[in-house]
Structure 1
Amino acid sequence: MRPIEALLEIARDEGVTRIFGNPGTTELPLMDALAEAPGLHYVLGLQEASVVAMADGHARASRRTSLVSLHVAAGVANGLIGMLNALRSRTPMVVVAGQQDRRHLVQDPMLSGDLVGLASAAVKRAVEVQHARDLPIVLRRAFALAARPPAGPVLVSVPMDLLAEDAGVAVPARSPVTGPGPADAGEAAALLANADRPVVIAGDGVGRAGAVAELVAVAERLGAAVHHQPMNDGIDFPTGHPLYAGMLAPRNAAVREVLAGHDAALIAGCHAFMPHHYTPGPAVPDGLAVVQVDEDPAEIGRNFAVRHGLTGDLAGTLRALAEHLDGRIPAARERAERLGAAHARARKATEAAARAAYGPAPLDPRAAAHAVAAGLPDGAVVVEEAITAGLLLRAVLRQDLPGSYVHTVGGGLGWGIGAAIGTRMADPDRPVVAVLGDGCAMFGVQGLWSAARYEVPVAFVVMNNGEYRTLKDTLDEGGGPSARHGRYVGMDLGPPAIDWRSAAGAFGIGAVRAGSADELRDAVAGVKDLAAPLLIEAPITGHAADRRAARGAGR
């Protein structure tokens, strides 16, 4: 079997159905072979960041490792932002990057570069294949490593002449691997059962492991409030559940303030809280008894001391924990009822404030977020990349179905458009609504072309405030010259203002502008009937409007 044939055979055997890429000369052997490769579909993107984002969304929705093809050093450089997102969000992905022809690499030819060195900081591992006979085993290793906890991208650099060789290579069979079983949860259950004020932190490892139902069972037996980890990437606990208490803010001081009210904590599948803005001190207060459960042994005690650290199959371990707790805590029901009533009051107040803000465009951001949430059809998936509006959206979303919310904690902007396309491709039966900040969308706008080319029926909702709002808000907290004088350098996206309907039309996508919160809600509701992609512009008020409102209120 020729090397290129081995690559395609391994891809099929690993469950790959789509190869996401943007080709160049080093990919010509691959592109030529794909002309007669049944079962493998090439998904073209106009820029590598969009390509990797599509593969990210596809891997999460399909729960299979995705395959990406990038072109030489420049393509890898463009794709780095997507690989960094995938690494931080722990998305399994194999990236095959075409290297220049080995026969003249010594001459430093155009397009060549150190692909392994370039990618190493953004992937789990990077390797360059030097011999055709090694390609199959390196690819098998790459797929295995990409899926092994903690999952993430693996890059394989393949010189173009190697793929075109006529040498025969052997393809090793796939080796199914069974992970470790559930950990012994008896002692951890005893600690939690004896707590008077337990709390549960649902990390993204819970959603990735398909262990949401098991965590719900643990929380209900404890009668404990449940918080999502800061900036959670998915649904790790049903947000409509009475015990759900919202997301922890991404600052150590904020996390510590919440945890200080408890005497024991179960932290499940959570990557060390990952703060955003610095605040002094640790996230976990001294004296808190912590039970930490994770599939990755390196997470246990990584940033804080634990009383019991459990590693192994996450769903099985949580199931065992729930069994040990069953009927053991007489006060659990009373706790749950008290917490449920308090959470219901808080949600009602949030809903009332958002509804009171409904009106014509430009929309109050709270009203815009609520309108999106209110319009979502049953079973819809929200792919969210909206920095400030996204926080408001999280407060009003009530999603119980796993996979209903997709975000990246990686921070590389431009991910949302591509991720939404990949999500819908992988799961065509669920409507997909991408909620995007205008600044975020501009980083990945080329992805709209792929949505149009492949007729992917996604609703792209652009929350347009014409600025980098989060930067202005952060400067305001510091009280420096920008905040005092109301002048913010390099943070406005106008003039000229971005014409989103024209931008969508340039890529072959229809667009509408929401003139009110009600119109936005109705436009989002229509995603269930889409046969093609649609961009929905939601003009929202910005930072200056809030400053005026604050002055008017005497704050």
Structure 2
Amino acid sequence: MAMIAGKHAFLELLRQEGVEYLFGNPGTTELTLMDAYAVEKKPQYVLALHEGSAMGMAHGYAVATGKLAAVNLHAAPGLGNALGMLYNAKKAGAPILVTAGQHHNDIALAEPLLWDDLAVMARPYVKWSTEVRSLEDLPRALHRACKVALTPPMGPVFLSLPDNVLSDSADIDMMAPTRVGSGLRADASVIAHAAELIAAAKAPLIFAGDAVSKSFAHPELVALAELIGAPVYCEAMADSASFPASHPLFAGLVTRLGTAVQALSQQHDLVISIGGDLFTMSLPTGAEAFAPGTRIVHLDVDPWELGKNFPTEAALLGDPKATLPELTAAIADRQADGDRKAASERRSTIGQASSQRRRAAVSKAQSLYGASPIQPMALLHLIGEILPSNAVVVEEILSSNPGLRDLIISDDPQSYYGLRGGGIGMALPQAIGAKLAMPDRPVVALSGDGSALYSIQSLWTAMNRRLAIPFLIFNNRSYRILKQRTNAIGDHAARTGHFEAMDLIDPMLDFTSLAKGWGMPAVRVETLHDVRAALPAALASELPTLIDIAIDTRL
């Protein structure tokens, strides 16, 4: 017990929880906290110029480390600004303590400027949301929130912090953090049942999701896939690399359209999902992802995902890294010699198909090297050729990413991060969070031009922190993904070639001037030859660099 001001207690509690950075954008309701930073140094405060960017940075740090990230927002408008990126964090299961300054309790009932019920605003996007009413309650509330955020299934939590909580002083018990063991093993009887189903399968199919990379379970999933001879597909809009892209059993990305998923699953007699959602669709196609009667085995840390959309014969609630070894051993015990031979034959067939797919992607990309303007596949291949093997790619190039996982190899769980939630503007800030988390690894951001504009202020933070990140803008001067989908409707736009409110050409976007306005080195390139010179220089630089790449604008 010690007499302490709330603003100092808050920072001490964050330090107890292992928080290294507090991402934020302060306003009047955060001034008491910022006053503490006149004498406090940790956790380091990382200034973003917009709350959405602050949330994206916290997201990038959280998923790259698996540790708690913290972000502080400004009252109701600040929380509102951050909700798009908070939605992404929710879908990605990013452990983030989200806090926002609130007015002093003495005037809250009068609904002063910037006031709203913050806990209610945040609640749909977080695992737990509440307002701290007194300094005495702060340790219990903060430690509980952090425990909830880090307990699988991990995710963001929210605390509203009235000014009186931070400005008061009291003799309080600071308590201590609690950590819930994450290595949950699935029930033994369900493992046995799943093993029976998998051992009996003649053509199994594996879907791998973010729970695999979050638990660093690549080796365990590889062992299962090799044992049963199954192709491994990853989610098209994944948060991370859930299977090594260079492995012979990596079959690529599964689409988010029901007809295509159903066509794929009907080639197999058993669907095995390891940490994947079944199924987040993108557009209605008139078909379910799975036909009635599809047999499913599903392992996940989140009980909500098990049997959520489709009946599951074996639903295993457990951590992939902890559960997969037991499941794999149980399958091996049930395999006869004929089963092992059949699995070996499947491995060979799948490996040949994977090798052929990669060769085809590389061949197509190389055939486009001489095209003008730059073709996205050729650009991705060149980037893959230039990047070192330990590079981390943060990607948000929706209409330009076909072939990316074959052309830019991502083999470890921290090598790739993508747009899990679908809320655009994530690549620039998440790359900053990832670089803070992994300062010794090269981090590269790939962003579309439209997406970059949602969080362009992030470049200021990268320059302010001197984070050596190459920011590559795939610039097609439009919302090309929207054009593609509008064109697919096959009606007025497809016939006339007019796409309302989807071109970014009047005025033209000048990304290099934006970057240079913050003192950041920047260059615009229009040929692959220029990219071949600019990217290695950016990787060697001690400063962030923006490379604005003019790519093909055609659909």
CA distance in structure 1 between the partners assigned to 2:428 and 2:551 by the alignment = 20
* Alignment correspondent of 2:516: 505
1:31 matched residue in structure 2: 34
Instruction: Tell me whether 1:312 sits opposite 2:318 in the alignment.
Output: yes
CA shift, 1:273, in A, is 2.1
CA–CA separation in structure 1 for the residues paired with 2:388 and 2:548: 19
**1:518 Cα deviation (Å)?**
3.6
How far 1:361 moved relative to its partner? 5.1
5+ residue gaps, structure 2: none
Change (3 A) 1:115 1:466: same
How does 1:515-530 map onto structure 2 within 5 Å?
Answer: 515-530=526-541
Aligned equivalent of 1:155, options 154, 158, 168: 158
Give 1:488 deviation, angstroms.
Answer: 0.6
In structure 1, which of residues 269, 280, 299 is the aligned counterpart of residue 275 of structure 2? 269
Cross-structure match for 2:483 = 472
Q: 1:397-454: per-residue Cα shift (whole Å, max 9, x none)?
A: 2221221000122122211111001100111011011000000001110000000000
The letter for the 2-side match of 1:347 is R
Say whether 1:495 aligns with 2:506. yes
1:324 Cα offset (Å)? 2.1
The question of whether the paired residues in 2 share the 8 Å contact of 1:253 and 1:281 is answered with yes
Instruction: Give secondary structure in 2 for the equivalent of 1:201.
Output: strand
Segment of structure 1 superposing worse, 461-470 or 128-137:
128-137
Distance 1:359 1:503 in 2: 30
Amino acid at match of 1:302: K
Name the structure 1 match of 2:140. Answer: 137
Which of residues 449, 458, 461 in structure 2 aligns to 1:447?
458
SS at match of 1:389: coil
Aligned with residue 56 of structure 2, among 53, 68, 71 = 53
CA distance in 2, matches of 1:178, 1:153: 18
Q: Which of 168, 171, 180 is matched with 1:165 structurally?
A: 168
Match in the other structure for 1:373: 384
What is the CA distance between 1:18 and its match in structure 2? 0.7
Partner of 1:359: 370
Matches within 5 A, 1:270-289: 270-289=276-295
Q: Is the 8 A contact 1:512 1:535 kept in 2?
A: yes
- Structure 2 counterpart of 1:434: 445
How far apart, CA to CA, are the structure 1 residues paired with 2:549 and 2:388?
A: 18
Taking the aligned partners of 1:233 and 1:524, their CA distance within structure 2 comes to 24
Alignment of 1:288-437 (within 5 A): 288-326=294-332, 328=335, 329-359=340-370, 362-437=373-448
SS in 1 for 2:170: coil
Find the residue that maps to 1:388 and give its secondary structure: coil
2:75 alignment partner in structure 1: 72
Q: Distance in 2 between matches of 1:113 and 1:176?
A: 32
2:536 equivalent to 1:533: no
Shift of 1:118: 2.0
Alpha carbons 1:229, 1:273 under 8 Å: kept = no
Give distance in 2, aligned partners of 1:492 and 1:87. 31
Deviation at 1:81, TM superposition (A): 1.2
Bigger mean CA offset, 437-446 vs 306-315: 306-315
Find the residue that maps to 1:493 and give its secondary structure.
coil
Question: What are the superposed Cα offsets for residues 482-541 of structure 1, whole Å, 9 maximum, x if unpaired?
Answer: 111101100000121101111111122111222322432443344442200000111001
Shift, 1:180, TM fit: 5.9
Q: What is the TM-score when the length of structure 1 is the normalising length?
A: 0.95
**What amino acid sits opposite 1:354 in the alignment?**
A
Cα distance in 2 for partners of 1:176, 1:440 equals 36
Q: Secondary structure at the residue paired with 2:141?
A: helix
Partner residue of 2:206?
200
Matched, 1:177 2:183: no
**2:241 and 2:410 in contact (8 A); partners too:** yes
- Are 2:107 and 1:104 equivalent residues in the alignment? yes
Q: Distance in 1 between matches of 2:301 and 2:440?
A: 30
* Structure 2 CA distance for partners of 1:141 and 1:454, relative to 1, 3 Å: same
Deviations 1:63-115 (A, max 9, x none): 20101111111111111111111001111101110001222223222121221
Cα RMSD (Å) of the superposition? 1.5
Contact 1:361 1:514 in 2 (8 A): no
* Structure 1 position 34, deviation (Å): 2.3
Contact 2:395 2:418 in 1 (8 A): yes
Cα separation, 1, equivalents of 2:279 and 2:471? 30
Q: Shift of the alpha carbon at 1:392?
A: 4.0
The equivalent of 1:114 in structure 2 is 117
Contact kept in structure 1, 2:227 and 2:332, CA below 8 Å: yes
| SS at 1:138 equivalent | helix
Query: How far apart, in 1, do the equivalents of 2:375 and 2:546 lie?
Result: 20
Greater CA drift, 54-63 or 282-291: 282-291
SS in 2 for 1:536: strand
Query: Could you tell me whether the CA contact under 8 Å between 2:24 and 2:47 is conserved in 1?
Result: yes
Deviation at 1:234, TM superposition (A): 0.8
The total of aligned residue pairs comes to 544
Change (3 A) 1:175 1:117: closer
Tell me the distance in 1 between the aligned counterparts of 2:100 and 2:184. Answer: 35
SS in structure 1 opposite 2:169?
A: coil
Q: Is the 8 A contact 2:245 2:406 kept in 1?
A: no
Query: Residue 157 of structure 2 aligns to a residue in which SS?
Result: strand
More displaced 10-residue stretch of structure 1: 352-361 or 213-222? 352-361
Q: Which amino acid letter does the alignment assign opposite residue 264 of structure 1?
A: L
2:219 pairs with 1:213:
yes
* Aligned-partner residue type, residue 248 of structure 1: V
The answer (yes or no) to whether the contact 1:355–1:370 under 8 Å persists in 2 is yes
Label 1:134 to 1:39 Cα distance change in 2 as closer, same or farther (>3 A): same
Structure-2 residue corresponding to 1:552: none
Match of 1:54, SS? helix
Equivalent pair of 1:230/1:274 in contact (CA under 8 Å): no
Q: Deviations over 1:208-227 (max 9, x none)?
A: 11111111110000111110
Q: Does the 8 Å CA contact 1:377/1:528 hold for their aligned counterparts?
A: no
Contact 1:361-1:539 within 8 A present in 2 as well: no
Match 2:473 to one of 442, 462, 474 = 462
1:91 is aligned to 2:94: yes
Comparing 297-306 with 440-449, greater Cα deviation is found at 297-306
Residues 1:198 and 1:521: Cα distance change in structure 2 (over 3 Å): farther
Q: Secondary structure at the match of 2:500?
A: coil
TM-score normalised over the length of structure 2: 0.95
Counterpart residue type for residue 422 of structure 1: G
> Structure 2: how far apart are the matches of 1:494 and 1:290?
48
The residue identity in structure 1 corresponding to 2:327 is L
Q: Is the 8 A contact 1:252 1:275 kept in 2?
A: yes
1:62 correspondence with 2:65: yes
Deviation digits for residues 162-214 of structure 1, max 9, x if unmatched?
21002222111222322463222222112111111111100111111111111
Quote the Cα distance in structure 1 between the aligned partners of 2:129 and 2:497: 46
**Distance in 2, Cα, partners of 1:195 & 1:135:** 53
Offset at residue 150 of structure 1 (A): 2.2
